[in-house]
A and B are shown apart, each in its own frame.
Chain A
Amino acid sequence: MPSDPTSSSSLLIFIAEILLFALGAVVVALYAYGAIWAFRIRGALMTPLYRERALWVGVVGVFFTTLIASNLLIRLLDPTNFYLSLFQYCIVDAAGIVTLAWIDTTIKLARRLDPLNRNTFKWKQLRIVIWVLTFLTTGGSLAEVIILRINFFTSPSGAGGAFIAGSFGWVLLGFIALLLSYRRSKDPVLKEHLKWFGLFLLLLFIVDTILSKQIPPFRILGEILLALDAYFLYRGARSLAPFSRVPLEQNALTSSR
């Protein structure tokens, strides 16, 4: 007996959605684990500037955990709801702000590590301009969404393209300043952290491009890549400070006290 093609394709879509949801839940848990590690290391650090950087890595982790979790849940609940869509836009648009906060703190740290304490890229002055422009472009993007009532999940072209591009442009400028500052500091610990966190941001950018396509195979590939991205975040968090796992030397006297 020939099977009904409509019901078999809807069954496939259903299975794909279940798979996507399960993958998404795993990805959310992985991102959260990276964030927990950042906060854990922050708790062990003592110097304010290092604690601040660990805090922002943790915030970035929490932020992307929220972003992916809300994306998953809203798709399940009611993707046509404007207010839920606006909430998702708010989170997406704030990505530039939290990333810039991490860049800003890391540049301050790289400057502190530079033996000659140089004000690379005139960052002390430039940061004010970049912060203002980032807030303006983020605000512009949200205003466009509200005025034109664009839905994040159903609109084919998305919204705030120029504004979001602007916001990420300022962040990119900050990243260039960060790389220059790092080259001057030559700190291997900072290098390790930048390597993993840079991979995290780069892959996130690539996945964002893939996930923007609404086709299930792309979305599954995107979720798998996001799991890898969560691993990069975890490594970025763990590289905030070097710590040892080698068993300590005999500590009998201390232990017996």
Chain B
Amino acid sequence: MVSTGLEQLDAVLGGEGYPERSSILVRGPPGVGKEALGYWFIRSGLIAGDFCLYVTRLPVSEVLEDIKAFRIPTDRLPIWMASEGSELRCDISDLTSLSASIKETLRKNSSSSDGKRIRIVTDVLSPLLMLNPADTVYRFFSQLLAGSKQSNSVFLATIEDGMHQPQVLAAMEQLFDGVLELRLYEEGPRVDPLFRVRKMRGMAPQPNYFRYEFLQGKMEIRAYAK
């Protein structure tokens, strides 16, 4: 198992985190902190000595600002593939070169890092779906995820709820071994941020929701009771 970087989330996922060689999708509306799960996952990988790749359509400086805002230390940084500020460029308008760049990076690492585990985090799924037909993105991701599993990777992607057709979201979910869902829920005068594990390879379905909060550089998770 591969730690999520968050003790309480590991516990919800059965004690140790995401399954080995898995692909995880974090879905939720904008602003609920999906990307923070990716930051902690990368942070945990850097501490464990894993090879970590962060693929983003944003400039590195903006992602770093976000990481700091979540109070996650930035003393160790991943390999960036970003629109600005990185050696490897992430150009989401060119799927072919994006795919080739990621595969090449994984290939280089696989041959040079003595079987180190690889962690890949990306926020490009939603923007790709906005720029390309859904079936093209589906094929791109299915190939990418198949390739990443061959190279001992755990792949984590985020997708925006409310921005794509429900059938597109459902199709994308099919590609991933695990799906974490974040949502905002109105209960009387309160708005609660909730999350649940929609599916996870090797785990029985988990219908329960949890209330979560990011506090002091940690994710606080509590059982949600109405």
Q: Do A and B bind each other?
A: yes
CB contact list, B34-71 vs A, under 8 A? 35-36, 57-59, 62, 65-66, 69-70
Does A214 sit within 8 A of B, measured CB to CB? Answer: no
Please tell me if the beta carbons of A47 and B31 are within 8 angstroms of each other in the complex. Answer: yes
Contact, CB under 8 Å: A46 / B36: yes
User: Which residue of chain B is the closest to A250 with respect to CB atoms?
Assistant: B207
Complex interface residues of chain A between 229 and 244 (CB less than 8 A to chain B): 240-244
List CB contacts (< 8 Å) of B7-52 with chain A. Answer: 29-33, 35-36
Contact in complex: B83, A251 (CB < 8 Å): no
B191 within 8 A of A: yes
The answer to whether A117 touches B163, judged by C-beta atoms less than 8 angstroms apart, is no
Contact assessment for A116 and B162 in the assembled complex, using a CB-CB cutoff below 8 Å: no
In residues 46-75 of chain A, which contact B (Cβ within 8 Å)? 46-51
Q: Interface readout for B69-89 with A: 1 if CB under 8 Å, 0 if not?
A: 110000000000001000000
Total count of chain B residues near the partner, CB < 8 A:
47
User: Is the beta-carbon distance between B225 and A255 smaller than 8 angstroms?
Assistant: yes
A243 touches B130 (CB 8 A): no
Chain A residues with Cβ below 8 Å from B190 are: 40
B92 touches which of A48, A49, A115 (Cβ 8 Å):
A115
Given A40-B190, A186-B130: A115 and B57 within 8 A (CB)? Answer: yes
CA distance A257 to B226 in the complex (A): 12
A189 and B30 form a contact (CB under 8 A): yes
Q: How far is the CB of A185 from chain B (nearest CB, A)?
A: 9
Asked if B114 is at the interface of the complex by the 8 Å CB criterion, the answer is: no
Which of B145-153, B169-177, B178-186 faces chain A?
B178-186
Contacts of B224 in A (CB 8 A): 248, 251, 254
Given A45-B31, A189-B30, A251-B207, A242–B130 Cβ distance below 8 Å? no
Of B30, B83, B185, B226, the contact of A47 (CB 8 Å cutoff): B30
Query: Are A117 and B225 in touch, CB under 8 angstroms?
Result: no
What chain A residues lie within 8 Å of B162 (beta carbons)?
A: 188-189, 242
**Chain A positions within 8 Å of B97 at CB level:** none
| Contact assessment for B225 and A48 in the assembled complex, using a CB-CB cutoff below 8 Å | no
Q: State whether A254 touches B29 (Cβ < 8 A).
A: no
User: In residues 115-160 of chain A, which contact B (Cβ within 8 Å)?
Assistant: 115-117
Least Cβ distance of B129 to chain A in Å? 9
A contacts, CB < 8 Å to B:
40-41, 43-51, 112-113, 115-117, 186-189, 240-245, 248-251, 253-255, 257
Residues of B at under 8 Å CB distance from A? 29-33, 35-36, 57-59, 62, 65-66, 69-70, 83, 92-93, 126-128, 130-131, 160-163, 183-186, 189-194, 207-210, 213-214, 223-226
Give 10 A-B pairs besides A48-B69, A112-B58, A254-B223 with Cβ atoms closer than 8 angstroms. Answer: A44-B32, A46-B31, A46-B213, A48-B66, A115-B130, A117-B58, A248-B194, A249-B207, A251-B225, A254-B224
